[in-house]
Amino acid sequence: MRQRNAARLLVINSLNEVLLFRFQHKGDALDGRDYWATPGGGLEEGENFETAAVRELLEETGLHVDTVGASVAERDFSMMLPSGETVLSVERYFVVRADGEQLTRDGWTADEARVMTEHKWWSVAELQETRETVWPERLIEMLERA
């Protein structure tokens, strides 16, 4: 099984809410799946996790930072991609404090625009109460350490 390294971001606003995107899959191997997840994505050739985190933040939100601090969490799990390929996903999570909540989709790929249908800033209380699927499953623990 191929390993897919990914940088994920805990983008936190001034109200201590975390940014999540809603993913709704239609017409791919994950058809019918509907969940919320942090921004981020796979490392490109020659990138380390930190560089990928900075790039992914800009591409998916329009927010720019020069660097990110040390990873606050890591998880490894088997994951099916929209293509149908199953990979060993190795994710590292980085905290970014957002001054504003103004986001842009200008850096999104066509696949991201098709699947990522909305965004929301979530409080810990909302995360505790929701019945919706939220990834990663230990997000609240990660936020408490952030």
pLDDT at position 145: 83
**How far, in Å, CA of 111 to CA of 35, rounded?**
16
pLDDT at position 102: 81
pLDDT at position 52: 98
What mean pLDDT is predicted for residues 16-35?
A: 95
pLDDT at position 99: 81
pLDDT at position 143: 93
Q: Is the pTM of this model over 0.85?
A: yes
pLDDT at position 129: 97
Which CATH number is correct for 3-145, 1.10.357.10, 1.10.3470.10, 2.60.120.20, 3.90.79.10?
3.90.79.10
Q: Three-state DSSP class for 87?
A: strand
**How far, in Å, CA of 82 to CA of 77, rounded?**
16
**How far, in Å, CA of 80 to CA of 63, rounded?**
28
> Domain segments of the chain: what residues?
3-145
**How far, in Å, CA of 6 to CA of 71, rounded?**
12
Q: With beta carbons less than 8 A apart as the criterion, state whether 95 and 101 touch.
A: no
Give the confidence band of 28 by pLDDT, cuts at 50, 70, 90: very high
Query: 62-115: per-residue pLDDT in tens?
Result: 999 999 999 999 999 999 999 999 999 999 999 999 987 689 999 998 889 999
